[in-house]
Amino acid sequence: MEQNDQRMEQEGTSPWDKRGRRFGYHTQASGSESLKVVFDTNILVSASFWYGYSFDAMNFALKGKIICFSSKELVEEFKEVVLRDFFVSEENLSQKMKDLLSIAILVSPSEKVLIINQDLDDNKVLEAAIEAKAQYIVSEDKHLLILKEFRGIKIVSAKKFLNLVDF
* Region of poorest pLDDT, from 14-28, 43-57, 81-95, 120-134: 14-28
pLDDT tens for 45-80 read 999 999 999 999 999 998 889 999 999 999 999 999
Share of the chain above pLDDT 90, in %: 69
Give domain status of residue 106, yes or no: yes
Give domain status of residue 9, yes or no: no
What one-character-per-residue DSSP string does 56-88 give?
Answer: HHHHHHHTTSEEEEEEHHHHHHHHHHHHHHS--
Element (H, E) at 37: strand 35-39
| Cβ atoms of residues 109 and 130 within 8 Å | yes
State residue 165's pLDDT score: 87
Domains contained in the chain, number: 1
Report how far apart, in Å, the C-alpha atoms of 40 and of each of 44, 69, 80, 113 are: 7, 10, 14, 16
Give domain status of residue 46, yes or no: yes
Give domain status of residue 23, yes or no: no
Give domain status of residue 15, yes or no: no
CA-CA distance, 94 to 11, in Å (whole number)? 17
State residue 33's pLDDT score: 65
Give domain status of residue 11, yes or no: no
CA-CA distance, 145 to 154, in Å (whole number)? 9
Report how far apart, in Å, the C-alpha atoms of 106 and of each of 52, 84, 99, 137 are: 25, 23, 13, 15
At a CB cut-off of 8 Å and minimum separation 6, what does 85 contact? 45
- Banded model confidence at residue 17, pLDDT cuts 50, 70, 90: very low
Tell me the whole-structure pTM to 2 decimals: 0.80
Give domain status of residue 89, yes or no: yes
Sign of CA dihedral 66, 62, 129, 158: positive
CA-CA distance, 113 to 144, in Å (whole number)? 13
State residue 144's pLDDT score: 97
Q: Where in the sequence is the domain holding 41, given as residue range(s)? A: 35-164
CATH number of domain containing 42: 3.40.50.11490
CA-CA distance, 82 to 79, in Å (whole number)? 5
Give domain status of residue 6, yes or no: no
